[in-house]
Amino acid sequence: MAEAGTIVDVTHYKRSYRRLVVSGVVLSAGSCALVLYTGGAEPFIVFHWSDLALNVGLGTVAFALFTSWAVACVRNYRRAPRRRALATGLLCASVLWSAINLFYLGATIYGYAVDMNNPRLRVLR
C-alpha cells in the first residue's frame, strides 16, 4: 500500500513539473517580447496610454508572475520525493533565469518612468 502512495506522489510531481516548464516557456516568451519591444521603442517622448498600459501594466503583471513562478519552482523542488543533482541544477537555472528576467522587466518599467520624467526629452515634445 505504501508503494501506491509513492507512485501517486511521483506522478503528481511529474505533472506539476511539466506545468512549470510550460508556464516558464510562456512567461519567458512574453517577457522577451515585451523587453525587446520596449528597447526598440525607446526613448518614449510622447505620453500614450497604450505605452503606459504595456510597459507599466503588463510589465508589472509579468514581474509578479515571474516571481510567483520562481517561488513555485522552489516549492516543487522541496516537495519532490527524490532530489537528484539534475533537479538541483534545474532549480538553480530556473532561479537564475527568473532573476535575469526580473532585472530586465524592472529596467523596462523604470526606464519608461525615467523617459516620461526626463527634462531633456521635454524639448522634443
Tally of CA atoms within 13 A in the half-sphere of 22 that contains its CB: 6
- 19-60 pLDDT per residue, tens: 999 999 999 999 999 999 998 988 888 888 999 999 999 999
Judge whether 103 lies within some domain. Answer: yes
Residue 122: enclosing H or E segment and its boundaries? none
Residue found under cell 526606464: 111
pTM here?
0.81
Quote the domain boundaries for residue 73. 2-40+47-118
User: How crowded is residue 58: how many other Cβ atoms within 10 Å of its Cβ?
Assistant: 17
- 74-105 pLDDT per residue, tens: 998 888 777 788 888 889 999 999 999 999 99
Number of domains in the chain: 1
Judge whether 123 lies within some domain. Answer: no
